[in-house]
Amino acid sequence: MSAMTSRLRLALWALVALAAVAATLLFFVTRPGPESGGIGGGSYALVDQRGNPVDQSMLVGQPSLLFFGYTHCPDVCPTTMGEMAGWFADLGDEAENLKAFFVTVDPERDTPEILNGYVSWVSDRVTGVTGKPEEIAKMVKAWKVLGEKVPGEGSDYTMNHTASVFLVNAQGGFEGTIAYQEDATTALAKIRKLLGKSA
Per-residue pLDDT reduced to its tens digit, 144-195: 999 999 998 888 999 999 999 999 999 999 999 999 999 999 999 999 999 9
Residue 125 is predicted with a pLDDT of 86
Cα 161 to Cα 69, 181, 199, distances in angstroms: 7, 15, 31
Q: Which of 106, 107, 105, 86 is nearest to 95 (CA)?
A: 86
76/32 Cα distance (integer angstroms): 24
Q: Are 59 and 101 in contact (CB under 8 A)?
A: yes
Instruction: Read off the pLDDT band of 10 (50, 70, 90).
Output: low
Higher pLDDT, 198 or 40: 40
Mean pLDDT, rounded, for 1-16: 49
Per-residue pLDDT reduced to its tens digit, 48-90: 999 999 999 999 999 999 999 999 999 999 999 999 999 999 9
Amino acid at 17: A
Write out the chain in H/E/C secondary structure: CCHHHHHHHHHHHHHHHHHHHHHHHHHHHHCCCHHHCCCCCCCCEEEECCCCEEEHHHHCCCCEEEEEECCCCCCHHHHHHHHHHHHHHHHHHHHCCCEEEEEECCCCCCCHHHHHHHHCCCCCCEEEEECCHHHHHHHHHHCCCCEEEEECCCCCEEEEECCCEEEECCCCCEEEEECCCCCHHHHHHHHHHHHHHCC
Cα 86 to Cα 7, 95, 122, 146, distances in angstroms: 31, 12, 9, 25
Q: Are 192 and 175 in contact (CB under 8 A)?
A: no
Per-residue pLDDT reduced to its tens digit, 23-39: 443 444 334 333 334 57
Q: Which of 135, 132, 175 is nearest to 40 (CA)?
A: 175
161/159 Cα distance (integer angstroms): 6
Residue 74 is predicted with a pLDDT of 92
